[in-house]
Chains A and B, each alone.
Chain A
Amino acid sequence: MDNLWLGLISGVLFGFVIQRGGATDADEMVKAHLMADGRVPKFMVAAVALSALGLFGLQSVGVGRVMVLPVSIVATGLGAVIFGIGWGISGYCPGTCWAAAGEGRMDAIFALLGGLVGTLLFAQLHETLIPLLYLPTSMGPVTLTDWFGEPGGVLALFVVFSVAVWLIGLFWGSPAEE
């Protein structure tokens, strides 16, 4: 029961923050994809950089639960390509369409319904596609710590993501400052 309340509270906070960040607004998302406005990708990438440092701190005092998903060259890559096409044409991703539907955006409600259909399709094909595409090229739950060691992995991520934020600032437009 506690878990249900925690989920609800977490969802409300998350939904509110992404709404205020404009991630539920497909106009903002399309502008981000067209490199016309770097605000949304900047906060996404910066939040990961900060969260990685924060999670490292939490873990070092024994707080928090982690679960690293395996990487499959073919399934993760192909899934990402299909996802990217859907994200590019609609401006919604699975999380933002819940918050955007709650906000009252009708096109997001259709994205959510389509999402249920996509899930139904994949669940139907799971037994065929996972052994075919996922398992053969799975490398297991590899992390940067496996490559760069204990503080090395998290520092590498922080540096690379910080540089990414700077590059987005350089190459994306910023209409707010015009």
Chain B
Amino acid sequence: MDTLPARPATDPGYNFGYLDEQTKRMIRRALLKAVAIPGYQVPFGSREMPLPYGWGTGGIQITASIIGPADTLKVIDQGADDTTNAVSIRRFFARVAGVATTERTAVATIIQTRHRIPERPLSAGQILVYQVPQPEPLRQLEPREAEARKMHALADYGLMHVKLYEDIARFGRIATSYNYPVMVNGRYLMAPSPIPAFDNPKMHRMAALQLFGAGREKRIYAVPPHTEVQSLDFDDHPFKVWRADRCCDLCGAPDSYLDEVVTDDKGGRMFVCSDTDHCAERRGAGHRGPLAGHALQEIAEGKS
């Protein structure tokens, strides 16, 4: 883990942040409009990026447009800092913008994320950039784009509750566990990107600015700091977060979002924090989970 921000030299073959200045201005204009109308999807001229759609082309364009030389960038993928996608995007910006990168949530000024919000509460001045595959929360229910936009314009969102009704009728509870629809500022229905419903309450009145970029769908939307974000629900089936009923096997955290990891072919499994930085920080502070220490050491050494 790199703790001290290193500042690599910028590749002189690229404009600062990869995108040309006109493109960055265009995206910033879309961002300003998005911040002015919380939750509203602003169309923008999404560019081809040197990575495939679905790998974060929307998020990377937003990051490229807002990043400055003094920023410190953190990239997370499913909560982890060390997966391929996170590592390569971090390396990309180190090369084309020469910015410092970090894995620590606390020191990052810009955090580009896929599928998670960090466990540590974000503070004012930080910016969270989400990679969004499908910005339209009504897409599965209303395939006509024109009609879906009209529904947004008229705040005509009864249809979304039909989906939740179906969940309860079939499973006895609202079984939507990720990309759980939210109302932003009491006006726009918004897809929070495929973050677990566990993370939804963190969006409510978050101190940091939240920006959402969908590259393939060419949409940008935003939630300004301290904005109301409410998860949809029924009066008699209120919104509930779901997490594995365990503590982290490495750091012992009883309240973080957990990944289930299969450890062998005999039914062995362990639960670990999906947020690797949070987990490492807790272990650094001396917290220990049931499988931390010798048990892990034994698995590593092939004794068990």
Q: Do A and B come from one complex?
A: no
Mark A residues whose CB is within 8 Å of B.
none
